[in-house]
Structure 1
Amino acid sequence: MAMSCIPNNELTLEEIPSPKGDLRGWSRFAHTINGYEQMGGFDACADLANSGGAATLTQLRCALFFEARRDRHSGGCSLDEDVIRRLLKEIRLKVEAGEFD
């Protein structure tokens, strides 16, 4: 999937899928950042996502990116909607508050 990266400070709430409802578009949004590049590689991105410890906007977006990659590579068998919804909610809160990192 070709990524069209969006810097944190250019994100708008309209671009971030709602954590309520059917989650349409979450994976596409997740790919607006390259979590592997931002975190310094696959392992670091995986560690962040698996730890559940993402705190900054960049970390939250990287964790969401990793969940999208995990879902794709598992053939849809690893989708954890609760995690996706939590990450989207936290991302929206950061953007709404103007906390771009």
Structure 2
Amino acid sequence: MQALTNRQLQLARIPDPDGDLRKWEMFAHTINGYEVAGSFEHCAALYNDNSATTLTELRCALFFASRKDRYNYCSEGETPVAREFLRRIREKVAAGELE
């Protein structure tokens, strides 16, 4: 999937957190979390500290979850975390909170 800005997000493009998440990583890579967050460390902190509040921060945290999942070779390791981030991302988009 190509990079998407927050304004390009539509609920139909965001995986349903209560559905099949086999391809959630594809959505996570619609943003380069390291670049947008400013560094690997800041992106990791958004994920590890659960401090993401804005749509952009939530997308960066989801991106980090996908990278962590890949490098830890976990097939289902980050799925519960991904579900929560996707739920929060969908809420932001539905509410029009696109910052």
TM-score higher than 0.5 here? yes
The amino acid that maps onto 1:16 is I
Say how many residue pairs are matched: 99
Where do 1:47-86 residues align within 5 Å? 47-76=45-74, 79-86=77-84
Counterpart residue number, 2:8 = 10
User: Structure 1: how far apart are the matches of 2:55 and 2:26?
Assistant: 17
Q: Does 1:24 align with 2:18?
A: no
Ranges in structure 1 where 5+ consecutive residues have no aligned partner: none
Aligned partners of 1:6 and 1:32 also within 8 Å: yes
RMSD: 1.4
SS in structure 2 of the partner of residue 33 of structure 1: coil
Unaligned runs of 5+ in 2: none
Normalised by the length of structure 2, the TM-score is 0.93
Task: Report the identity percentage.
Answer: 52
